[in-house]
Amino acid sequence: MRDPQNLPGTVLAGRYQIDQIRTEGSGSVSSAMQCDATDLSSHESVSVRLVPLDQLINPQLGSTTPADAVAIFEQRMDIASSLRHPCIETMLDHGEVTLDGERYVFSVGERLAGGSLREFLDRGRRLSPSQALIVGIDVCRALDAAAKQGISHGDLRPSRLLFGLDRRVRLVGFGAPLHPLDSLALEQALYSSPELGEGGARTASSDVYALALILVEAMTGDVPFVADTVAAAFTNRVGKLLPVSADFGALAQVLERAGRPVASERFSPREMGQALVQTAEKLARPTPIDIVGTGLFDVEVTSTDPSQPIARPDISSLPPVQNIAPTETILIRTTPNFVHNDPPSTPTPIMISDVTSPTGTPLTIGSDETGPVVLDAEGLRALSAQDDTTKVSRPKKKWGKRIAILVVVAVFAGGGGVAAYFTVLNPKNPVPALASLAEAEARNQVSKFGWKVVIAKERSDQVQEGQVIRTDPVFGSNLAKRESLTLVVSQGPTLSVLIELVGLTADDAKAKLAVLGLEATPTDVADESVAAGTVVAWSIPDQATLKTGDSVVKGTAVAINVSTGPALREVPMLIGMTLVDATAKLTELGLVVVQAPTIGHPEIPAGQISVQVPAAAEKLAKGATVTITVSAGQTTTLIPSIYGKDLKTVTERLLKYGMVIGKVTGSSRTRLKSALIDGKVVQNFERVIVGKTVDLVFP
């Protein structure tokens, strides 16, 4: 394999001169080299990806011989070359070359000098929600264009998203080999959908899931469901909803659906793109993305920085633009060929250019033989005259006259005739008790009366959703057939307007929410600046975009984060530190230093901490004290008179002189027989180091 340092200056296929080697962007093949190159035929800057052929010989990829590897490479390049879209890397060429006796395959694509999203994140940068939305829309456009050709990406990761100098993203990697799902690398598994871990196929839906994870990581710096192994990565996300933050704004709702664990519940690429576009109006205007470039000193990136002053042309001296809109009659096509006076012999159709045609061929609207015609008032009158439906005569019935005669006869027959009509032919019925019935049940009960039922909706805290609150007219009122009965049906509990809770005490927040009919669900969180018991944040679970002033149904749970004050501090290990270092460490943690009198120590040199109380790893509240003792170094003293004394006397005298009582053997009721330090017998009034351990031996 040729040394990468020797590649600059190499010309591939007599056309592509390698200028420099840069970090591989896709991460799919460890031996692949990504190069900046120049196309000698056009003098354009291009990107070349060079891979040793033997690295592509892999049974898992379907190749066992060099010929198999070349055939698969050609197939993948055909797929990549077939995708032409502004948001997909443009593949310009590919081929095979031999360098220093070793076979390589290479692909040539457009030069994307803005670096990858992976490089952007690795440098500690983050996208704002507005910037993430723009990236998401562009990737959705790319995925949708591929999906229309039956192609899914299958390996979407931040390293697959490259920026151009226009600071817009392109999706790369459609031509890269796809490893079987049972041999994925950890990085690939971190962005894989749950169904892939269960043997499911790579689809546009799995690409949408990966995009949701990428956008969350781009805004927070952390990929959701992170794990240390491939198996754990898949286990962590099975059945789990994507964790989204209220900080994402209106973007949260889109990401929640895109990241659902069930593939059928996610957006398609087109649907997600449309949802993102609709969300754009709710977010702030995005600033240009601060791309990282592909080199240490990237002049191209600097030259395209939108913050640089832009020279604008002077148009003050230009003449005004004239209105040249056409004033001719608009021509449309119609199928009926009606007769009119003096029809135009050669009507002029409206010319609409087909933007998908490279020649600009006009679109033909309609294709029947009638041709386009002028639609005017005279033509419409002629068309109306030919319409037979206006000339249909309907026979007049004589029942009305007959009924009128009968009514007159009935009136003359007796004054009770009219009353008989209303009581027998059109009787009235009382409105039954319908309150608290389901709407469907109420309709069934009144259907026999022939009333016209009108439904009105209203919210109620007492009546369940879908049940009748009241009727109009009220219960017991009489209604005749064909009269209206209004059923007022509950839409569920009334709405409450969310109020600001931050800064309130937990008790006040709970009380205010209770008045609104909302349920508080507090969570304790440590906060360095907010007093304990004070609300520091709140949200509506599963509706992260709701804010102060929005309305929710009564009974909705409101999650409130209540400060517990500063977090407990873990006492560090101070033994062996200097007083200055120990004080600085404790002060940084918000703990108070108390210095005890200096004493000698048998091992710790003078000036270093020899004793700390409390011990390391204990937890203290902010502002608590830690007592430290500074060693005076090794000091000596005389062993007091201890031989022939009882245990109590020996212990008191040794401790008085700074010694430590060690192992006691024999009967403590007798008198001391011998004393040992470090296994050596010491006598009364012998000089020893203060702090040493003394073992006592009794008969």
CATH number at residue 537: 3.30.10.20
Residue 641 has pLDDT above 70, yes or no: yes
Each residue of 156-195: pLDDT tens digit?
Answer: 999 999 998 888 999 998 878 787 777 788 988 999 999 9
- pLDDT of 226 over the 50 cut: yes
Q: Reply yes or no on whether the pLDDT at 392 is more than 50.
A: no
Specify the pLDDT at position 634.
84
424-438, pLDDT tens digit by residue?
556 789 999 999 888
Q: Which of 305-319, 520-534, 601-615 has the lowest mean pLDDT?
A: 305-319
Domain contains 463? no
428 membership: H or E segment, kind and range:
strand 428-430
Residues 203 and 251 reside in one and the same domain? yes
83, 141 in Cβ contact below 8 A?
no
* Residue scoring higher pLDDT (515 or 381): 515
Q: What is the pLDDT of residue 691?
A: 86
Same domain, 144 and 238: yes
How far is the C-alpha of 539 from the C-alpha of 501, rounded, in Å?
Answer: 10
pLDDT at 329: 46
- Indicate if 173 and 199 belong to the same structural domain: yes
pLDDT digits (tens, 9 = 90+) for 452-481: 999 999 998 889 888 999 999 999 899 998
Q: Are residues 173 and 275 in the same domain?
A: yes
Does the pTM surpass 0.85? The reply is no
Q: How many folded domains does the chain comprise?
A: 6
Q: What is the pLDDT of residue 45?
A: 92
Q: Is 474 a member of any domain? A: no
For residues 620 and 654, state if they share a domain: no
**Residue where a domain terminates, one of 90, 110, 130:** 110
- pLDDT at residue 312 is higher than 60: no
Residue 8 has pLDDT above 80, yes or no: yes
pLDDT number for residue 298? 57
pLDDT beyond 60 at 412: no
Mean pLDDT of 7-23: 88
Tell me, yes or no, whether 408 lies in a domain: no
Q: Final residue of a domain: which of 543, 563, 583?
A: 563
Residue range of the domain that includes 360: 327-383
pLDDT computed for residue 94 by the predictor: 93
- Are both 658 and 641 inside the same structural domain? yes
Task: Pick the range with the lowest mean pLDDT from 243-247, 359-363, 675-679.
Answer: 359-363
User: Mind giving me the DSSP string for 527-579?
Assistant: -SSSPTTBEEEEE-TT-TT--TT-EEETT-EEEEEEE--SPPEEPPP-TT-BH
Domain assignment present for residue 459? The answer is: no
Per-residue pLDDT at 604 = 87
Most distant pair of Cα atoms in the chain: their distance: 149
Q: Is residue 484 included in any domain, yes or no?
A: no
Residue 31 within a domain: yes
Whether 48 and 172 share a structural domain: no
**What is d(CA 402, CA 396) in angstroms, rounded to the nearest whole number?**
13
Of 449, 441, 436, 459, nearest to 485 (Cα)? 449
pLDDT greater than 80 at residue 23: no
Q: What is the CATH number of the domain that holds 68?
A: 3.30.200.20
Arithmetic mean of pLDDT, 414-422: 47
pLDDT at residue 214, as a whole number: 96
The predicted pLDDT at position 356 comes to 44
Beta-carbon contacts of residue 391 (< 8 Å; ≥ 6 apart): none
Instruction: Summarize pLDDT for 247-295 with one digit per residue, the tens.
Output: 888 899 999 999 999 999 999 999 999 999 999 888 888 888 888 875 5
Q: How far is CA 508 from CA 498, 505, 524, 533, in A?
A: 15, 5, 16, 10
Residue 505 placed within a domain: yes
Do 62 and 91 reside in the same domain of the chain? yes
Residue 440 lies in a domain: no
Q: Note whether 550 and 579 are same-domain residues.
A: no
Shared domain check, 167 and 231: yes
pLDDT tens per residue across span 645-664: 999 999 999 999 888 999 99
Q: What is the pLDDT of residue 378?
A: 55
Residues 272 and 338 in one domain: no
Per-residue pLDDT band for 390 (boundaries 50, 70, 90) equals very low
Please indicate whether residue 553 or residue 388 has the higher confidence score (pLDDT): 553
Single out the residue in 383, 409, 429 at which a domain terminates.
383
486 and 456 Cβ atoms separated by less than 8 Å: yes
